[in-house]
Structure 1
Amino acid sequence: MIYGLKPIALLSFLVFLSVCSYGQEIRLHGKVVDANDKTALEFANVALLNPSDSSLVTGGMTDINGGFDFNASEGQYIFRVGFIGFLEFFESVNLGDKKNFNFGTISLAPDAQNLDEVVVEGVTSMFESDIDKRTYNVENSIVAEGATASQLLSTLPSIQVDEEGGITMRGSGNILIYINGRPSNLSGDDAESILSQFPANSIKSVELITNPSSRYDATGVGGIINIVLKKNENLGFNGQVNASIGTREKYQAGINLNYGTEKANFYASYNWQNRWQRENGFGNRSTSLPDFSPTLEQVQDGYEKEKTNLIRAGVDYSVTENSTLGVYFQGNFDDEVEYAQIDQDNLSLTGSLDSSFVRINNELSKSSNYEGGINYTWNVDTLGQKLYTSFSYAYDDRSQVEFYDQEFFTSEGASDPSKMLTQINDRPRTSTLFVAQLDYEKPIGKNGSIETGLKSTLGNWLWSQQFSQGDESNQFVPTPVDTLTDSYDFTQNVYAAYFTFKNKAGKFGYQLGLRGELTDQLGETVRKNESIPDNYFNLFPSTFFSYTLAPENELTLNYTRRISRPRIWDLAPIYRVRDQYNLSIGNPYLKPEFTDSYEFGYMKGWERYLLNATVYHRFSTDVETRITTLTDDNVAIQSRENADTRASTGFELINQIQISNNFDATLTGNFFYSKINASNVEGRDLSNENFSWTLSLLGNILVPKWFSVQVQGNYRGPIILPQGQIEPQATLTVGMRKDLFNNKATISLNVSDIFNTRKFKITTEDPRFTQYREFQRESRIGTLSFTYRFGGFKEKGAERSRREGGDDMGDDF
């Protein structure tokens, strides 16, 4: 590990070197922000007026960071800052004979009076685009009411969620999932089972970061999805309650409370889910293995019943005018019952029945996840210099027991008791996750800024399994099976440091960044008494360039390098028994996958139309992929291997159209070519390539004074695998919403997957077998939801706009 300390020391030196001051040469400059949440206000109007008649002398507009910079002659002026929907700020100034003036930060307060007097009905856009991410304000999502976080993600453009829990963005997997900007250690067999523990009504927004810069974790070659949970920050006591009921026993309820003062904001929420969901599947496998029927046909029918309780509470306290201390706690509790009946028929060449099995699966699981954290933000000055630090700790505990009863039937349908099986699989799991980080931001010169920081992510996962089987030899009393019983203890610690510099010269902007990450991990097995260490240090550069052709008309070019570290369920060398014909196992020797990502984009905005086009290319090495091997005993074993390379080249086009004040639509198309080279795996040439595409439409229609309608549809083309492909899929969801009681309440109705087409289908081809499999969780669901909001909703600092810091030049009005 010593070899990695020098690069870390170098990056740490850059971190502390960055606090040095730099000279500034400006004329009139400052920054305009929202007084409530301190976000920058782009396109705010900044002007100097003639005191005698209030005529305009000179001025300008704020940039994307809320900054302004312009020249003016000596004299007496009225300084005015304005923005639609906010109270204007005025100040009498005397420029005198000074050459440089700093107005500091101008905080504009929302004009609540005007908003009350003038009510403009129109659709509310869900989509916002920024230089490094896209944000979907899912509070406005009608089609996701009453759904889970996983189901919510599947409604968003660029994202696909398959029925096995796999999440892809722009056709690429290995997505990093954040909850409130932090990784999560919630337990589950896949991302879908983890995300299902969060109801969609607890989510405020979803951020898609397709090509993250060096300030983000380098993990996640396909990008980052950050799920932001709701947290109100209004003054006084206020909140909301919500409840929903769905077809076939799906219930959800929640409450969000907030109490805000000028010094502190207290918030708490509770969300409850009780969902019953059907599951069914079908599979067909053909083989030429001797002594076995050439065709195996499987039909699965079952259900999952899940109860979740999500509790969140916290406080943000203003220690001083410029610093805030935050403390939070979160508890997530999950209780699941799963049942499945699997009918397996062995068929002859003519299609007649040779023999069959009937397998009954019952699964009981419970999990508890606790997370707490503290953060501190210090706004060093009014120019944007800021220090942020946070610490969080999470503990997860999961118990899971699976019970299997299997019967054998002859071709005549007679039961053979000698081939009966009774199995019990006990799979307890625990994990801990500690995250500590320190971030520093400082403006440099007129348009520049630096960001730098340190971060440690320390995780441990302990997965165990005791598999027992009862048959005729032990009087059907389940006895532990050594080859299927094991424990895997995995520790992974990642230490990171980063530095970015951002600047703008005229129409040209750029951001350069470098991140270093030292990974120290160890996997240990009990049965074979193996210790598998892996330590490595990597640098991850990032570059972002932009050129403004005109207002709302911009070209962008960027490059990043990223990593995908294998996850615990990919590594654990423990056999998971689906049935006697299908097993899966992790690979503790998996190597990390590295990706170089390139993007070239063009953005053009008109009054009612926004065009965002991106050409991208990704090249990955040591690609983690699933491989299925058929043994001589006709058992299919799915494992993970590192394929040599994968290349993806594509074109994404986002069209956001404001057809009228009452109708908008976002149409997203992604067209890409993928090629995977897996000729290195098991001495077989498993390379594959194809052209595919995804299409997504999100439309919002408002019927004034009545209700609003939302329509969401998407299509995903085939996704290639070394041994076949995941087949295409299409869905359509429709919802409607109406506000009640002077907009204090909302009632909504939606139907997801109207045509019941959301099925996961996969085709696998191998010299030893051909397999087709499909699986579907219940997706055509009708949901009725109700939300009621209460309290004053008085905004912080709404009394007046104000100026903080900067030079003393006069009196504000």
Structure 2
Amino acid sequence: MNSRIVLAIILLLTITYSISAQPRERGASPRGSIRGHVFDSALEVPIEYANIVLYSLRDSSQVTGTITDQNGLFLITELRPGNYFLEISFMGYVKKTIDRVEVRPRSGEVNLGNILLDQIALKLDDVSIAAEKPPVEYHIDKKIINVEQHLTAVSGTAVDVLENVPSVIVDIEGNVSLRGSGNFTVLIDGRPTILDANDALQQIPASTIDNIEIITNPSAKYEPDGIAGIINVILKKNRLLGGGGIINLNGGLDDRYGGDVLLNYRRGIASATFGLNYSKRHFPGSSTVESYTTMGGNKTYINSEGSKLWGRTGYGIRGSLDLDLSSNDLLGVGFRWGRREMVHASDLNYDEWSEPALLHTYYTSISDMQRSGAFSMAYLEYRRRFGKKDHEITSRLSIFRGDMEEEGTNELVDANDLLTSGQISTEDGPGRRIFVNVDYTLPLGKTNKFESGYQGRFGAHEDITGLYEYDPATGIYEYRPDYSHSVDYSRDIHALYGIYSGEMGRFGYQGGLRGEYTNRNIDLVGENERFSIERWDYFPTLHTSYQFNGRKQLMASYSRRIQRSRGWHLEPFITWTDAYNVRTGNPDLKPQYIDSFEAGYQTFLGKYFISTEAYYRVTHNVIEFVRSVYDTSVTLRTPENVGTDYALGTELMVNGNPMKWWDINCMVNLFNYRIEGTLYGEPFSEESFDWNLRLNNTFDLTRSTKLQINGRYNSPSASAQGQREGYFMANVALKQEFFEGDLSATLQVNDLFQTAKRESTSEAPGFYSHSIYQREAPIVMFNLKYTINNYRDKKEKGRQQNDFGEDDF
């Protein structure tokens, strides 16, 4: 593994040196200047720190640039005579281009006068959104979730934000699915993470997030892993000169509290960010299960009811430093360290009997599963811009490490409070990953460009499982070596990609191809078994768009993706998870391949912005966890390639303002799900019509007071062996700002009517199970946020929020 790190560093430094060694252009003696004032078009106030970039009209090469001062003024001096064009941009505003600026010999200064920038949210024209960004923005290749607009999630994590966004479903235990699939990739600031997707989202406080990108049909530049696409979490960072930060504190009922601090400083060529966070979330609830198994002609019933608790505790630290080495060279370094702890505990009363005897046995099952571990990440990134606009190369090295320890205890106590049986299962697994990226972009003319790159992923981890069983005769837990194993995993993936994009009039297109070579080995330590794979895979992508008159746009895309199995899915041995459930892996599992098609259309209808998307997804080699009878009252879960599934659906989003003080956002997702294949040697086919609805309402009660009310409904959904029932949930939040926004307080109440629950049925030859879990509700949280060195107060009084819905800091 160390040799891989050394090779990756050598590769990165070689690329960096070869790029930096290229000669830089020198300009001739300039003779003229360009002046202008940049204003907010709606508020008629100057915009400070707006970016001004000047390009040559002849070849689109970048000439120079500057920023505006506190009065919105900029001045570019010592320019050679010639023709130029100018780009003016600032966070939260529509970029403006002045197509032709002529500097003549001895003409002196060119005064462009007042230049007005429109806020991005105001591109809805007649739709008034109080100069704030909408909760959801639609782009050609992604949806952007503006986190600050989701008041009911302010004290939560990234998962709480996703509860009220299109394409995503979150169950009451925080498990996320994207367009009906739990298999997706999570990126943090565009970088991968060593954590599982759900774990990663649960670790990120909502208050530290700028926005979340939902990318359901990524281009060939992105890793193709994940059935449903990519969720990219963009964290807050400093963008303006000076220092500042944010402090958040929150607390609620049932042992829930947390906080985070984010500090930023930018001066000269350096920009630094430092953050700390802590979060504890416990969710008590109740559980009811009715089940039976049939084995050897005997039918055994097991019913249970009682209390359950699940929760997560996480804390971490992160930092980054960006250095503008020159106008064309950027060097960035950063790190992130954290620790997460998860708990699943239950105290259930059981009633067990068999037919034909009908003799009931009553006992109590006490379970406690603790899972914890630390994770860390560090990266080094270098970007080199060449003379021409958008002509650049970026190289990045990321190193990850994670440790995991798990211990689960399950004990059965009879009616006399005597311990009759028990199990302790353990699992330990340190893991390491290295990512190397080199991405190159070459503009071709004004509208076309070519992109290519290399991406390497090198990973290895261990998995050590153990089982101890209680011996009533000795009163101690005895080690069971026949159910204890050690496994070493290694997987290297090398990828090359190429993308060509361009425009022909109103038609835009992008085509790409990615090739990946995978080398994977699984070694059972001490058992002389190895499972290996060497394989090439190819992933084409295509994105198109057409711009109509009247702000209407049609988009269509295709991508091919892959879902590779997790390590424990492939383990060829029995692992006990509790007294009633065992699992085994399947080393013969094939990866799932996905063909994904999408088409979208955006338009305006009066005061409302409307977006609709249609999608069709085919998944080959579908993996489902098949349940069967392992022993009397014990079921076995095994991952199997059961067949092919099909999802055909549409998403509709409507956003607008019925009144100046009322913003409404409605999202509907309708899709037909069908799965067919072979199970237990017999063909099967299951189908369901699934839908979910979200309705978000935000009311500006006063200039400093907001009320948000939202509700969502998830319909029932089918699987190969059963069905999950639907449920409804309503949330409400009230936010009050003080001291012109420096301090804000938010009271949020989630699951207001205690209607959220998880109810499911599983059935197959030899067993049946119907379970209901409902957490205690309503969930009440209170959040305080304080902004340090509020720029709006000192220099931008009267300005509204930036593109993240958050004051600059």
Letter in 2 for 1:341: D
Report matched runs for 1:11-50 at 5 Å. none
Contact 2:283 2:311 in 1 (8 A): yes
2:477 paired with 1:468: no
Report matched runs for 1:286-365 at 5 Å. 286-290=292-296, 292=298, 294-304=300-310, 306-347=312-353, 354-365=360-371
Contact 1:604 1:612 in 2 (8 A): yes
Give the secondary-structure state (helix, strand or coil) at the position aligned to 2:755: coil
The match for 1:649 is: 648
CA distance in 1, matches of 2:756, 2:682: 33
Note closer, same or farther for the CA distance 1:107–1:582 as it changes in structure 2 (3 Å cut).
farther
The match for 1:259 is: 265
How far the C-alpha of 1:778 sits from its partner, in A, is: 4.8
The match for 1:134 is: 143
How far the C-alpha of 1:608 sits from its partner, in A, is: 3.0
Larger relative contact order, structure 1 or 2 (CA cutoff 8 Å, min sep 6): 1
Letter in 1 for 2:181: S
Report matched runs for 1:451-462 at 5 Å. 451-462=451-462
Contact 1:123 1:662 in 2 (8 A): no
Deviation per residue, 1:302-346 (Å, 9 max, x gap): 324543211011111101011211110111112445432132211
Letter in 1 for 2:478: T
CA distance in 2, matches of 1:338, 1:749: 28
Letter in 1 for 2:493: V
Note closer, same or farther for the CA distance 1:193–1:292 as it changes in structure 2 (3 Å cut).
farther
The match for 2:547 is: 548
Report % sequence identity: 27
How far the C-alpha of 1:562 sits from its partner, in A, is: 0.8
How far the C-alpha of 1:384 sits from its partner, in A, is: 1.4
TM-score by length of 2: 0.81
The match for 1:753 is: 751
How far the C-alpha of 1:701 sits from its partner, in A, is: 1.6
CA distance in 2, matches of 1:240, 1:108: 32
Contact 2:590 2:621 in 1 (8 A): yes
Q: Which of 201, 204, 207 matches 1:201?
A: 207
The match for 1:240 is: 246
Letter in 2 for 1:444: L
How far the C-alpha of 1:657 sits from its partner, in A, is: 2.0
The match for 1:5 is: none
Note closer, same or farther for the CA distance 1:777–1:185 as it changes in structure 2 (3 Å cut).
farther
The match for 1:535 is: 534
The match for 1:448 is: 448
How far the C-alpha of 1:569 sits from its partner, in A, is: 4.1
Contact 1:283 1:771 in 2 (8 A): yes
Give the secondary-structure state (helix, strand or coil) at the position aligned to 1:143: helix
Note closer, same or farther for the CA distance 1:107–1:151 as it changes in structure 2 (3 Å cut).
farther
Report matched runs for 1:458-607 at 5 Å. 458-473=458-473, 475-526=474-525, 528-573=527-572, 575-606=574-605
Letter in 1 for 2:742: K
Report matched runs for 1:179-190 at 5 Å. 179-186=188-195
2:666 paired with 1:667: yes
2:213 paired with 1:215: no
Give the secondary-structure state (helix, strand or coil) at the position aligned to 1:566: coil
How far the C-alpha of 1:182 sits from its partner, in A, is: 2.0
Note closer, same or farther for the CA distance 1:402–1:39 as it changes in structure 2 (3 Å cut).
farther
CA distance in 1, matches of 2:373, 2:353: 41
Task: Please say which of residues 602-611 and 199-208 is displaced more in the overlay.
Answer: 602-611
Contact 2:53 2:86 in 1 (8 A): no
The match for 1:230 is: 236
CA distance in 2, matches of 1:374, 1:134: 28
CA distance in 1, matches of 2:495, 2:340: 33
CA distance in 2, matches of 1:37, 1:564: 43
Note closer, same or farther for the CA distance 1:507–1:421 as it changes in structure 2 (3 Å cut).
same
CA distance in 2, matches of 1:414, 1:790: 60
The match for 1:436 is: 436
Task: Please say which of residues 552-561 and 166-175 is displaced more in the overlay.
Answer: 166-175
How far the C-alpha of 1:77 sits from its partner, in A, is: 11
Deviation per residue, 1:439-498 (Å, 9 max, x gap): 11122123111211111111222121111112235x122111133211222222211111
Note closer, same or farther for the CA distance 1:37–1:225 as it changes in structure 2 (3 Å cut).
farther
Q: Which of 699, 702, 705 matches 1:704?
A: 702
Letter in 2 for 1:683: G
Contact 2:343 2:371 in 1 (8 A): yes
CA distance in 2, matches of 1:773, 1:452: 50
Give the secondary-structure state (helix, strand or coil) at the position aligned to 1:690: strand
Note closer, same or farther for the CA distance 1:108–1:137 as it changes in structure 2 (3 Å cut).
farther
Contact 1:150 1:195 in 2 (8 A): yes
Give the secondary-structure state (helix, strand or coil) at the position aligned to 1:220: coil
CA distance in 2, matches of 1:366, 1:786: 29
The match for 2:72 is: none
Letter in 2 for 1:759: K
The match for 1:731 is: 729
- Compute the RMSD of aligned alpha carbons: 3.6
Contact 2:291 2:770 in 1 (8 A): yes
Contact 1:253 1:271 in 2 (8 A): yes
Letter in 1 for 2:545: S
2:777 paired with 1:768: no
Give the secondary-structure state (helix, strand or coil) at the position aligned to 1:218: coil
The match for 2:178 is: 169
2:176 paired with 1:178: no
Contact 2:52 2:87 in 1 (8 A): no
CA distance in 2, matches of 1:40, 1:175: 38
The match for 1:741 is: 739
Contact 1:463 1:572 in 2 (8 A): no
How far the C-alpha of 1:130 sits from its partner, in A, is: 0.7
Letter in 2 for 1:649: L
CA distance in 2, matches of 1:425, 1:551: 63
CA distance in 2, matches of 1:540, 1:196: 30
CA distance in 1, matches of 2:218, 2:51: 23
Deviation per residue, 1:556-602 (Å, 9 max, x gap): 22111111111234334454434322223332322110011111222
TM-score by length of 1: 0.81
Contact 2:300 2:632 in 1 (8 A): no
CA distance in 2, matches of 1:659, 1:670: 23
Task: Please say which of residues 132-141 and 702-711 is displaced more in the overlay.
Answer: 702-711
How far the C-alpha of 1:279 sits from its partner, in A, is: 4.0
How far the C-alpha of 1:161 sits from its partner, in A, is: 2.2
Contact 2:85 2:97 in 1 (8 A): no
CA distance in 2, matches of 1:241, 1:761: 39
The match for 1:9 is: none
Letter in 2 for 1:465: T
The match for 2:74 is: none
CA distance in 1, matches of 2:292, 2:559: 43
Contact 1:699 1:710 in 2 (8 A): yes
2:282 paired with 1:271: no
Task: Please say which of residues 712-721 and 449-458 is displaced more in the overlay.
Answer: 712-721
Note closer, same or farther for the CA distance 1:570–1:179 as it changes in structure 2 (3 Å cut).
farther
CA distance in 1, matches of 2:50, 2:625: 45
Q: Which of 156, 162, 181 matches 2:165?
A: 156
CA distance in 2, matches of 1:209, 1:394: 24
Contact 2:410 2:579 in 1 (8 A): no
CA distance in 1, matches of 2:581, 2:87: 67
CA distance in 2, matches of 1:264, 1:107: 31
How far the C-alpha of 1:554 sits from its partner, in A, is: 1.4
Contact 2:246 2:785 in 1 (8 A): yes
Contact 2:560 2:593 in 1 (8 A): yes
Letter in 1 for 2:189: N
CA distance in 2, matches of 1:599, 1:702: 36
> How many correspondences in the alignment?
713
Contact 1:166 1:191 in 2 (8 A): no
Q: Which of 140, 150, 153 matches 1:144?
A: 153
How far the C-alpha of 1:91 sits from its partner, in A, is: 8.6
The runs of 5 or more residues in structure 2 that have no matched partner are 1-14, 20-37, 40-46, 58-80, 123-127, 797-809
How far the C-alpha of 1:436 sits from its partner, in A, is: 0.9
How far the C-alpha of 1:196 sits from its partner, in A, is: 2.3
Give the secondary-structure state (helix, strand or coil) at the position aligned to 2:741: coil
Deviation per residue, 1:715-771 (Å, 9 max, x gap): 122222111122212221111211111111111111111122222222112132221
Give the secondary-structure state (helix, strand or coil) at the position aligned to 2:141: coil
